[in-house]
């Protein structure tokens, strides 16, 4: 008995020690940590406060009112008049929902590879039993696959669809803003290519990192399924994701044979009519989404148009620093520069992850790592969401110090270039009046 007592006491001590370790969640001793990865992005205090509201009955009247308000607002974010399905899942879940609702096993889907996340969506399609037809521009630039440095070439899509005379291809899948490369694609050109080929394929777009940062128009651009996530421009924690769906996509879902239950649109759309879901929703994250929509759509701050202009300006300010340093921007097409993030390529022989790690440890600033074929070649600076000029100037300063400490020769000061850009291009956003 004494041995059992000692063992139990040991387990208690070990468990509490482990608990205390896990509860030490703030590793940053003073000030705010500079979270400058391209998502999850910093969560504003206003949204954190909304998340702290008491959880309510998800079948009660007040929840129904909340649900209807959110479903109305999120349509404005996607710029659509059609249903937007909200899932308690990451963007990966919304990828799967998009594919499983409109396809049948063995279907061909044309998937354009623009980077790591496009390649992961392709991998998912294969695992689901689909037949992805992968295309992208060939060749290389600075030793990197061209299709990872440029936006979608809609002419290649049109060419492939014209060759598909039997219309075996059921959907065209592209990424709007490729988070791994800092490249934004022209989605309207993809729709024009599909229409020019007179092909019935659905247009499916991943705008997980583009939503509420880069202009995205679900209806105007003729998108059939848009995939979004909470942790980027919406400024929420990870945990909810979206499918915005066209009438054509809903019609396709009624005959699609891919197995689905949780992801199925039909029951969700039906219950959403009264503001509810057929499962237990993420109530506190929906509080956060409501607050986020209020912030983004606020007419006193210019609404969506102002949000898009703000991100474009931030991107220009950050890229002015990279150009001043004399380093190469990962996106090689000026017209495709992302307003969400900027990828910075390192000179030959410099490990980007080592630079990034030094910046984190010395200056408490987190930058995005290189992904896939860009591993160790580049780091990514996020300039999205809850951000401002001084945040980005501080981030550029951390990068500049880290690059110098890593032995990278810089042409001139990126900090000065960014300060000059922001001071010469004043923010159009007014401070809110009290």
Indicate the pairing of strand 365-369 with strand 378-382.
Answer: antiparallel
DSSP summary character for residue 196: H
pLDDT tens sequence across 131-152: 999 999 999 999 999 999 999 9
Q: Above 70 in pLDDT, residue 215?
A: yes
- Confirm if 210 and 259 have CB atoms less than 8 A apart: no
User: Three-state DSSP class for 342?
Assistant: strand
Which pLDDT tens digit goes with each residue over 249-258? Answer: 999 999 999 9
Report whether pLDDT(96) > 80. Answer: yes
Q: 144-145 and 84-87 as β-strands: parallel, antiparallel, unpaired?
A: unpaired
Domain 34-41+300-424 in this protein, CATH class: alpha beta
| Residue 241 CA: distances (Å) to CA of 26, 104, 244, 282, 294 | 27, 23, 10, 11, 18
User: What is the per-residue pLDDT across 172-183, written as a single tens digit (0 to 9) for each?
Assistant: 999 999 999 999
Architecture of domain 46-297: 3-Layer(aba) Sandwich (3.40)
Question: Residue 341 above 80 pLDDT?
Answer: yes
**Per-residue model confidence (pLDDT) at position 429:** 75
Per-domain boundaries in the chain? 34-41+300-424, 46-297
Look at residue 433 in the predicted model and tell me its pLDDT: 60
Per-residue pLDDT, averaged over 220-249, amounts to 98
State pLDDT tens for residues 357-407: 999 999 999 999 999 999 999 999 999 999 999 999 999 999 999 999 999
Question: In whole numbers, what is the pLDDT of the chain averaged over residues?
Answer: 93
- Tell whether the model's pLDDT for residue 66 goes beyond 80: yes
Mean pLDDT of 300-314: 95
């Amino acid at each position: 008995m004494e041995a059992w007592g000692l063992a139990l006491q040991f387990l208690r001590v070990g468990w509490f020690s482990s608990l205390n370790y896990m509860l030490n969640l703030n590793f940053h001793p003073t000030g705010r940590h500079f979270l400058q990865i391209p998502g999850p992005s910093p969560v504003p205090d206003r949204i954190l406060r909304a998340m702290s509201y008491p959880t309510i009955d998800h079948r009660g009247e007040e929840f129904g009112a909340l649900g209807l308000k959110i479903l109305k607002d999120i349509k404005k974010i996607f710029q659509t008049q059609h249903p937007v399905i909200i899932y308690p899942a990451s963007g990966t879940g919304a990828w799967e929902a998009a594919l499983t609702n409109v396809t049948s096993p063995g279907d061909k889907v044309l998937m354009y590879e623009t980077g790591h996340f496009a390649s992961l969506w392709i991998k998912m399609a294969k695992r689901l039993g689909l037949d992805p037809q992968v295309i992208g521009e060939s060749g290389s630039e600075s030793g990197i696959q061209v299709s990872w440095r440029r936006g979608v070439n809609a002419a290649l899509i049109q060419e492939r669809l014209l060759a598909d005379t039997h219309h075996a291809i059921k959907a065209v899948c592209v990424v709007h803003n490729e988070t791994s490369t800092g490249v934004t694609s022209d989605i309207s050109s993809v729709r024009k290519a599909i229409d020019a080929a007179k092909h019935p394929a659905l247009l499916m777009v991943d705008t997980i990192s583009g939503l509420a940062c880069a202009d995205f128009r679900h209806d105007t651009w003729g998108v059939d399924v848009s995939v979004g996530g909470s942790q980027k421009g919406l400024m929420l924690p990870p945990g909810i994701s979206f499918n915005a769906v066209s009438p054509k996509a809903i019609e396709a879902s009624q005959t699609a044979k891919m197995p689905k239950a949780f992801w199925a649109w039909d029951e969700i759309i039906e219950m959403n009519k009264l503001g509810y879901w057929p499962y237990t929703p993420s109530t506190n994250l929906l509080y956060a989404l409501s607050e986020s929509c209020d912030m983004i759509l606020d007419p006193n701050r210019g609404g969506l148009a102002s949000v898009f202009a703000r991100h474009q300006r931030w991107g220009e300010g950050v890229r002015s620093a990279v150009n001043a340093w004399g380093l190469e921007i990962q996106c090689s097409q000026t017209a495709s520069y992302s307003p969400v993030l900027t990828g910075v390529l390192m000179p030959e022989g410099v490990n980007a992850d080592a630079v990034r790690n030094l910046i984190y440890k010395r200056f408490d600033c987190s930058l995005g790592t290189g992904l896939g074929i860009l591993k160790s070649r580049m780091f990514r600076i996020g300039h999205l969401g809850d951000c401002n000029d001084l945040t980005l100037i501080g981030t550029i300063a951390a990068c500049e110090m880290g690059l110098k400490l890593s032995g990278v020769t810089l042409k001139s000061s990126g900090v000065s270039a960014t300060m000059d850009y922001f001071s010469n291009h004043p923010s159009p956003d007014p401070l809110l009046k009290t």
